[in-house]
Amino acid sequence: MTLAILGPELAWYLALAGCLFAIGSLGVLLRRSPLIILLSLEIMLNGANLALIAFARAHGQGRGQIFAIAVMAVAASEVAVGLGLIVAMNRRKLPLDVDRLRFLRG
Amino acid sequence: MGNFIVWVVWFSAAFACIGSAVAVVTFSNPFYSALALIGNLASLAVLYLLISAEFVAAAQVLVYAGAVMVMFLFVIAYLGGEEETPWAGGPTWQTIGAVGAAAALLVEVIVAVGLKAGGRLSDEASVGGSFGSPAQIGRLFLTDHLLAFEITSIVLLVAAVGGVVLGHHEKGPHDWGSAAPKETP
Amino acid sequence: MISGAWICLVAPLAGAILITLAGNRLSRTGAGIVATGSVAVAFGGALVSFFTMLGKPGHDRSELSTAWTWLGAGNFHAGLSILVDPLSVFMMLVVSGVGALIVGYSLGYMHSESEERRFFAYMALFVFSMLLLVESGNLLLLLAGWGMVGLCSYLLIGFNQERPAAIAAAKKAFVMNAIGDGTIALALFLLIQHTRTLDYAATFARIGALDNRWVVNLIALGLLGGAVAKSAQLPLQTWLPDAMEGPTPVSALIHAATMVTAGVYLIVRCHPLFEAAPKVQDLAAGLGAVTLLLAGLIALVQTDIKRVIAYSTMSQIGYMFLGAGIGAYSNAMFHLMTHAFFKALLFLAAGIAIHALANEQDMRNMGGLGRLMPFTRWMFLIGSLALVGLIPFSGFFSKDSILAAALDRGWYGAVLFAAGIVGAFLTGLYTFRMYWLVFGGQLSPFAREHAHPGHGEGPRTMLWPAAVLGLGAAVAGWIQFAPFWHPVSDFLSVVAEPLVEPTGWQEFTASALAMGLGLAGIGVAWIFYGARRAAVPRVAGLQRLLEHKFYFDEAYDLAFYRPAAAFARFLLGEVEAPLVHGTTAEIGETATFAARRLHRAQTGLLRTYVLAMAGSLAILAVVFVVVR
Amino acid sequence: MSWVTFLLIFLPLAGALFVWLLPLPRNATGGFALLVGLGEIALWIFALVKFDFGAGGLQFDQHRTWFSDLNVSYHVGFYGFSLWLAGLTVVVLTAAIAYALWAGRERPRGYFGLMLFLTGSIVGVFTAQDLLLFYVFWEAMLIPLYVLVGVWGGTNRVRATVTFVIYTMAGSLLMLASIVVLGLSQGTFDLVQAGTNSSPWIFLGFVAAFAVKAPLFPLHGWLPDAYRESSPEVAAVLSGVVSKAAAYGFLRIAIAKFPEPVHDFRVPLLVLAATGLVYGSLCAFRAPDVRGVIAYSSLAQMGLITIGLFAGNSFGYDGAVLQMVNHGLISATLFLLAGMIEARTATGDFALLGGMARGRPALATLLMTTGVIALAVPLSTNFAGEFLILTGAFLQAWGWAVVGAVSIVLAAMYMLRLISGVLHREVGGAVGPEDRDLRPAELAVVVPLVACLLALSAWPAAISDRAFARHSAKPTSRIVVTLSNGRSDGGLGPYDAGAQP
Amino acid sequence: MIHRPHVDWFLLAPSNSLLAASAICLLGAVLFPAGARRTATAVVCAAGFVTAFVFAVLLFIKSPHPHQDIGLAVIRDRWGALSAMIIAGAGFLTVLLSARERMKNDHIGEYFALLAAAGGGMAFLGMSFNLITLFLGLEWFSICLYVLCAIGERERSLESGLKYLIIGSFGSAVLLFGLALVYGATGEINFEAIARATTAQGLRGDALLVAGLAMILTGLAFKASAAPFHQWTPDVYEGAPTPVTAFMSAATKTVALVLTLRVLTTAFPQEARLWTYTIAAIACASLAIGNIAALVQNNVKRILAYSSISHAGFMLIAVAANNALGARALMYYLVPYSAMSIGSFAVLAARERELGRAVTIDNLGGLFGWERPFLGASLALFMFGFVGFPPTGGFVGKFYVFAAARDRGWTWLIIVGVAATAISLYYYLGIIRALFMRPSGATRLAPAGGSPPREWLIQGSVLLCVGVTVGSFVFVQPLIDVARHAAAALPL
């Protein structure tokens, strides 16, 4: 059974991926809570994943999907480390506000 | 007709996706943001299904929405809901710059896609029925992308160790030497 | 012949080195003896050369000897070589002979000084330098000797190191002479450019072949500049009176007998060059004439005994320049010799007086010394008469023949002659003004206070040289009496054939006029200073003009020194500090400013960092898509 | 014979390592360094005796590939003029070490090690026959200088070192750029093999480095501070030897490899040099202290040497080489003497000095002798050098020589001011009766230098006639050919053939 | 039937030995007695790096011809092997530095495990040959480094860790999107295949491809801490434990640059026009910003951070040259650079432990340079090396980089480099000034109560660094031969 593509073409998917990526980066750029920044990063990665999967479909290859799955794992890893950091910071009574993390500056 | 349904599904998923993404970014409470992200992930999974990526969609729901987000929610709960006024703080140029940069990126991607669409993007390949099935993915993972599979596991392992190291509750003061001085910020 | 010349050259240098190296191991007197001895050896060497030379025929009397190549570049080579010919032997004799006497005199004169060793080392070095100058076998070495005598002059004028006036005078002398060195050097560059050598013979041979008058004139002018500076002629004369800050033997040896006359030697030595540039030669004669007048005038109002003698030296060298300028080379040289005798004598006699009066040099504090020191008085008188040029003293024979030669040069010669005889009048006037001020009249209170009649006039080492010189001043002129016998001219003509040959009538006219005016000068001096029949007339403006030496010092100060100093200050203050150093500082500040701006961009705010990345990425991506 | 070159470079470097690594006792360190210095002198004399001046050309050369893909090699050797400059280096450096030994320096191991390192690198500069190797030694020279000035200098030493190093590095980095471009365009970095080049930019890169190091007006901003703030022996090395490396660079690289740019830039360079000559002389004339006078006179003298180098004829070249050695010895001696004076009076200010001649005959004699040689009194070797240079300049165009002659008068003015400011006049405020004459150790440092000067005065042709190959009987060296390839505008034609085969 | 792809275990040996060491360390963190834990895990970790180094050397020797393996995901060539050697060497030195770092004992095992794992990831990344392995390798060592940065659990460490994590993840996301676009444009993930596809399908200048390229460049430049993607560097370097900083400055930079050149030349040769100019611009920006910003810093670690930014600029000149000479120059440069970098951080670590506080220009002064002549002189040597003075490899490195730029015909890049070096003098020499030229007694030697005993491990590592720094100057030929062989693996 072969499947032709139904519905929106690749360009639509890519535009959506771009939107996600942009929204995610807006979150990183504008939010101060590290938690929300981590969430925004997830959105960015998902945008990339969407693009990968769309391309995989477009090229009819599995590689893109493999890539996307690997990315998921990576995203999970990043989240794990990030959350660990946030917990550690909370324990040290550090503010959970990236704007107040300014001990390190020139 | 099938096509039309696909379009409808696509659009609802896409709107849900963007809406939830915007919600993630704008909610002041991280807890709600996390919940919105779950929605986002779910709607993405729907989109994945539309382009025959069943396994990925499943993984998305299971791994992401299931495991990762649960972790998030646990931490948020542990920290207590610290609310943050979404757009406050930071200089104005930061906001303007951020919006500008994000918009430029978006426009750029869309332009790139648009330029490309005139050329090759439209002639998508037809794929076999097993495309995107767990079996195919598994086969790929064990043949061509064996290494990717292994490394993914290493990354996860490393992250786990890291998470443990960082999240691990410290038992006492530094036990290396006695003269460890106090930091003066 | 040549070995004598080498001995003559090296002996004083050896003496100087010996004294320097021996340091304290040599007693002060010992140093003096070494110096005197070495100069005496030099004189011996000169005599040997002289007599060997006399035994040779005229055309064979020139010999060049090169020790080694002193300087070389490419194909140009200048050897460390000496030239022995009648002219150089003549000068060697004068320099080492008079030198030996004066250095011997210093033994007594400098006895009380604490740094005699240095003095004698300098003296010996000077004699060496002077001998190098006169013996040099090429123009480069001549310039070397030229500079070295300037250096020694500097060292000796400034011998009295604690006296600021002495140091200032020494520096002035050196710098003035350096100007002369510079013009000579420029002349040498031209010579190298156009004749490709600095050896006398080759240079002179090739200079004739040069078509370019300008070049020849410039070369002669450059040499003349050096001569003028060294011989204290207008316009570079101002250093000589100041140089009297040096000890009296120095004045006698350097600033009367030898070094200052080097300019004359240079003109005679390089006469082919000057003859190729007759305009410059005329200029030399003219400068000599003007100088002899101006110096004579200034000498009228000076109160320092040594300065009067110094001005008279300038004046007499003016005569020599006049002579050399009109081509009467041997006459000029002859006058150089006799002048060496009588001027050294005058200085030595003055030195005895100064020595006796605790180094007082102001004539107004002297007076009546004649009774106190009869020997000195007689010596001084002999010197004065020779200076004025009264027969039969030496000055008569030499000076008058120069004037006679001037008569042989047409209208220009006549002008020069007129200047010369006016100068003769002035000479008589200022010389005997000095004589009577110092030796005539009653013993001055100052002299009475300081002089000690019981002790004699001075140590024998001082008196004997004066006596020898006195003899020379009296009789040395006899060896040549122009119309009748002229061995000096014959001897020297091998080197420098005179351009003028005055007739007997001219000789007579010149002698008569010069001697008459000289006597008139003496007479006037007698009226004002000897017999004091009349008060000295005062013309305030003129007096001030003369006392300020025609404002040459002031003019130079205003025209050169002050601008140079001001310019240097300006450079240090307005260029060096703000521009050269300021630029560095400014670059540093700009960098630091930029650094602070960048530092401010490093906010520590994570979001700005991400924004920078995102912004850059956006720009990069847009550019890529646009350019691709 | 190439081992002589090798030893001349590496003996002091090895000595430096030895001093740094082995804990020698305090006094032994300096003694050891001095011994190495004397060994260097002996080696150099040996090289001098063995050198065939008649043949000229590169001798005692040694060649090892350093890295082959860009044709960079360790290639060292001596030309006539480099041999003389190397001699200057070992003599002055040894005197400096001896002076430091006498004066006693803090942390002697560091100090003497650096001095030895400096010796080796300067000799390296004068022998390197590979562009990159030249640059390596050139930069290696800067490290010890930086530390020597910065650690053992005066109160304002830090500012002095910063200006000094940044100035010089700015220049030498441009040279590095030029070296890269030149070497790659030639396909080799070997100076002997490389041909000439006509790019004005590459030329200017080299000129920048040399002009800063020399220094040429107006790039001398680092000079007064560096010369004033460093310890006397380091100032002696700086002005005596290090500046000569720049002049050497002009000669060996800028002139030998860039005939056309040299021709095109001759006038601007001569203008800069002449300006520096007069400017330095004037500044020296007004400088308020001993070292200021010497420092600015150094600027003037380097201007003069540069005039000679760019006069473009054998007078200029020979005279410049002679003058490099002269000025090296003179300014080193003067700085050491200034140090000895400062050691007694703790100041170099003319307002506080004076009258030191009385009762101090050795000091007076030495300072006087050096001073008068410095002001180029005729018959001194300095005179010989200046005469040749100015002749060369005159042959190029008469105006340069007139400027030079003016500067001779100015030199007399400032040098006499220095001499009388220290030795003469009334006894200065800082001079006490307890300040004694030079001690035997000090004499042992300075007298040999003065003796060298006097010996050279007797026979300047020893250098001026032996800087380049003299006779064409044997195949002439490349440097000579190269040098003469540069159009000589002296207008003398065959007369200027001194530098030609 | 699943065809197991051929697996060249030898190729993976460097990474695997480090992974093994990491695993042992992890086990040791649990199993070893607390007292011996530090020493034992350090020894294991060091052994892992040594083994990795040996394997990398063997790999280098035995891989004269590039060969792709394991599903064309990695490549066995000398380029990767040499980078693995540098990384392993840097890691080994870092272990020496870390051995007695003030750190909680209960995480020391994990620390060494993560260090080894990070090294393994870098070694792997040097050999990665498709987009997936590229991304995964990058994340592999990045995640290790995030944790290592934060592991000190001091406030600063945590802050630096969080900053690094967030910015790093942002960079990864950008890189990933770029990779996705490239994949989408060509349908290939293997580097060579991408280039082939570009040619075959006429994709030169394709919008998706170049947009992806821009994003990839951003991601890689971020890892190399090149301006304007550099701002995290000073903060993270300052906050991270000094040994980790040392490791990052040497190894991360190595792998990022090596990878950049590999990706750009193998996957995007057709876009060379775009990326050479971009890299050149980035290099210039890094040189300018890195050097100028360092002028007013007081914290020595920050100065070194800016210095590392500027050196990234220098090495990017070599990348921008896009020729064989540039590749050689890059590989050569990395060796002395890594040694100097780790060496200077080692000295800082020593001083830090004496003081018990961050090292600034002010408290570097006093008698440190003289009291600890070896450390002082070594630090001075490293600074001279950073400037590019002989006799250090830094000089030859700069020379090669300039030569590469010249070979490309870009003399203006040389001028920029030269100007940057001139500026950099000020702060490098400022450190030397602080070391040796301050009046004594300005600062007390060790405010933290007595000077601790000399640490032979640190001294040893500094000595090794000095050896490499000077040795790479003297023995250029063998090193450059090695670099040439390595560069031969790239299609230049």
Contact: D394, C193; criterion CB under 8 Å = yes
**A77-95 as b/e: b if 16+ CB within 10 A:** bbbbbbbbbbbbbbeeebe
Contact: A28, C602; criterion CB under 8 Å = no
Residues from chain C contacting residue D412 (CB–CB below 8 Å): 174-175, 178
What is d(CA E135, CA E141) in angstroms, rounded to the nearest whole number? Answer: 10
Alpha helices in D51-79 (DSSP H): none
What is d(CA E13, CA E15) in angstroms, rounded to the nearest whole number? Answer: 5
Q: Looking at residue B177, what is its pLDDT?
A: 36
Is C297 within 8 Å of C314 (Cβ atoms)?
Answer: no
What are the distances in angstroms from CA E381 to CA B171, D19, D164, D311, E462?
A: 42, 17, 19, 41, 11
Encode pLDDT of C426-446 as tens digits: 888 888 888 888 887 777 777
Q: Which two tokens stand for residue D280?
A: 């330095």
Contact with chain C for residue A25, Cβ under 8 A? yes
User: Where residue E9 falls among pLDDT bands split at 50, 70, 90?
Assistant: confident
Contact with chain A for residue E212, Cβ under 8 A? no
What is d(CA E130, CA C546) in angstroms, rounded to the nearest whole number? Answer: 104
Residue of chain B with shortest Cα separation from C622: B108
The C-alpha torsion from E446 through E447 and E452 to E456, rounded to 10°, is -50
Q: Looking at residue E105, what is its pLDDT?
A: 66
Q: Looking at residue D497, what is its pLDDT?
A: 34
Highest mean pLDDT among B11-15, E154-158, E253-257: E253-257
What is d(CA E223, CA E170) in angstroms, rounded to the nearest whole number? Answer: 11
Q: Looking at residue E357, what is its pLDDT?
A: 80
> Partners for D (CB, 8 Å, 3+ pairs)?
C, E
Check pLDDT > 90 for residue E142: yes
Contacts of C86 (CB under 8 A, 6+ apart): C53, C61, C62, C491, C492, C494, C495
Residues D279-302 have a mean pLDDT of 89
What is d(CA E479, CA E485) in angstroms, rounded to the nearest whole number? Answer: 10
What are the distances in angstroms from CA E74 to CA A73, E79, E144?
A: 20, 12, 21
Rg (CA), chain B: 22
CA-based nearest distance C604→chain A, Å: 4
- Report percent pLDDT > 90 for chain D: 35
Check pLDDT > 70 for residue C178: yes
Check pLDDT > 90 for residue E49: yes
CA-based nearest distance A57→chain C, Å: 25
Identify the CA nearest to D325 among candidates D127, D463, D469: D463
Encode pLDDT of E69-113 as tens digits: 888 889 999 999 999 999 999 999 999 998 887 766 678 888 999
> Partners for C (CB, 8 Å, 3+ pairs)?
A, B, D, E
CA-based nearest distance E170→chain A, Å: 7
Is D424 within 8 Å of C161 (Cβ atoms)?
Answer: yes
Q: How would you classify residue C176: left for phi > 0, otherwise alpha for psi between -120 and 50, otherwise beta?
A: alpha
φ and ψ at residue C105, rounded to 5 degrees? -60, -40
A2-11, B154-163, D110-119: which has the minimum mean pLDDT? Answer: A2-11
**E155 closest CB neighbour out of B109, B164, B183:** B183
User: Where residue C383 falls among pLDDT bands split at 50, 70, 90?
Assistant: confident
CA-based nearest distance A46→chain B, Å: 8
Is C115 within 8 Å of C520 (Cβ atoms)?
Answer: no
Kindly tell me the sign of the dihedral angle through the C-alpha atoms of D178, D181, D184, D185. Answer: negative
User: Where residue D123 falls among pLDDT bands split at 50, 70, 90?
Assistant: very high
The residues that bridge with C113 in the sheet, in sequence order, are none
B179-183, D98-102, D158-162: which has the minimum mean pLDDT? Answer: B179-183
What is d(CA C6, CA C459) in angstroms, rounded to the nearest whole number? Answer: 33
C165-169, C577-581, D87-91, E385-389: which has the minimum mean pLDDT? Answer: C577-581
Is D108 within 8 Å of D148 (Cβ atoms)?
Answer: no
User: Where residue C453 falls among pLDDT bands split at 50, 70, 90?
Assistant: low
Residue of chain E with shortest Cα separation from A106: E297
Question: Higher confidence at residue B80 or residue E43?
Answer: E43
Encode pLDDT of C233-244 as tens digits: 888 888 888 888
Is D252 within 8 Å of D194 (Cβ atoms)?
Answer: no
Contact: A41, E176; criterion CB under 8 Å = no
Contact with chain B for residue E6, Cβ under 8 A? no
User: Where residue B122 falls among pLDDT bands split at 50, 70, 90?
Assistant: low
CA-based nearest distance D27→chain C, Å: 31
Contact: E187, A89; criterion CB under 8 Å = no
What is d(CA D191, CA E79) in angstroms, rounded to the nearest whole number? Answer: 34
Residues from chain C contacting residue B104 (CB–CB below 8 Å): 618-619, 621-622
**B94 closest CB neighbour out of C607, C617, C625:** C607
Identify the CA nearest to E265 among candidates E186, E191, E183: E191
CB burial class (10 A; 0-12, 13-18, 19+) of residue C508?
middle
What are the distances in angstroms from CA C431 to CA A86, C246, C249?
A: 112, 21, 20
Any idea what DSSP says for residue C454? G
Residues from chain E contacting residue C628 (CB–CB below 8 Å): 205-207, 210, 274
Residues from chain A contacting residue C596 (CB–CB below 8 Å): none
What is d(CA B50, CA A54) in angstroms, rounded to the nearest whole number? Answer: 10
Choose from B84, B93, B105, B108 for mutation: most chain C CBs within 10 A. Answer: B108
φ and ψ at residue D467, rounded to 5 degrees? -80, -35
Contact: E289, C598; criterion CB under 8 Å = yes
Q: Looking at residue D494, what is its pLDDT?
A: 30
The residues that bridge with E190 in the sheet, in sequence order, are E130
**E136 closest CB neighbour out of B144, B152, B161:** B152
Check pLDDT > 90 for residue E402: yes
**A81 closest CB neighbour out of E163, E165, E179:** E165
Encode pLDDT of B128-165 as tens digits: 777 778 888 888 888 888 888 889 999 999 998 888 88
pTM confidence score: 0.91
Q: Looking at residue D478, what is its pLDDT?
A: 37
Residues from chain B contacting residue E18 (CB–CB below 8 Å): none
Check pLDDT > 70 for residue D493: no
Which residues of E, range 337-366, sit inside 8 Å of B by Cβ? 356-357
What is d(CA E431, CA D306) in angstroms, rounded to the nearest whole number? Answer: 36
Check pLDDT > 50 for residue C399: yes
Is E88 within 8 Å of E58 (Cβ atoms)?
Answer: no
The counts of H helices and E strands in chain C are 28, 2
Encode pLDDT of C506-530 as tens digits: 888 888 888 888 888 888 888 887 7
What amino acid is encoded at E194 in this protein?
I
Residues C1-18 have a mean pLDDT of 86
Highest mean pLDDT among C68-77, D422-431, E36-45: E36-45
Residues from chain E contacting residue B109 (CB–CB below 8 Å): 181, 211
Contact: B6, A8; criterion CB under 8 Å = yes
Which residues of A, range 72-101, sit inside 8 Å of B by Cβ? 72-81, 83-88, 90-91, 96-97, 99
Choose from C599, C600, C603, C606 for mutation: most chain A CBs within 10 A. Answer: C606
Longest alpha-carbon distance in chain D: 68
Rg (CA), chain C: 30
What is d(CA A2, CA B181) in angstroms, rounded to the nearest whole number? Answer: 69
Q: Looking at residue E115, what is its pLDDT?
A: 94
Alpha helices in E249-299 (DSSP H): 253-267, 272-294
User: Where residue D345 falls among pLDDT bands split at 50, 70, 90?
Assistant: confident
Residue of chain B with shortest Cα separation from E154: B183
Residues from chain D contacting residue C184 (CB–CB below 8 Å): none
Contact: C606, E293; criterion CB under 8 Å = no
The interface pTM score, or ipTM, of the predicted complex is 0.89
CA-based nearest distance A106→chain C, Å: 6
In total, the C-beta contacts within 8 angstroms joining chain B to chain E are 125
Residues from chain D contacting residue C576 (CB–CB below 8 Å): 224, 283
CA-based nearest distance C128→chain E, Å: 53
Q: What is the mean pLDDT of chain B?
A: 78
CA-based nearest distance E298→chain A, Å: 8
Encode pLDDT of E285-325 as tens digits: 999 999 998 988 889 999 999 999 999 999 999 999 999 99
> Partners for E (CB, 8 Å, 3+ pairs)?
A, B, C, D
Residues E385-389 have a mean pLDDT of 92
Encode pLDDT of D145-196 as tens digits: 988 988 888 888 888 888 888 888 888 899 999 999 999 988 889 888 888 8
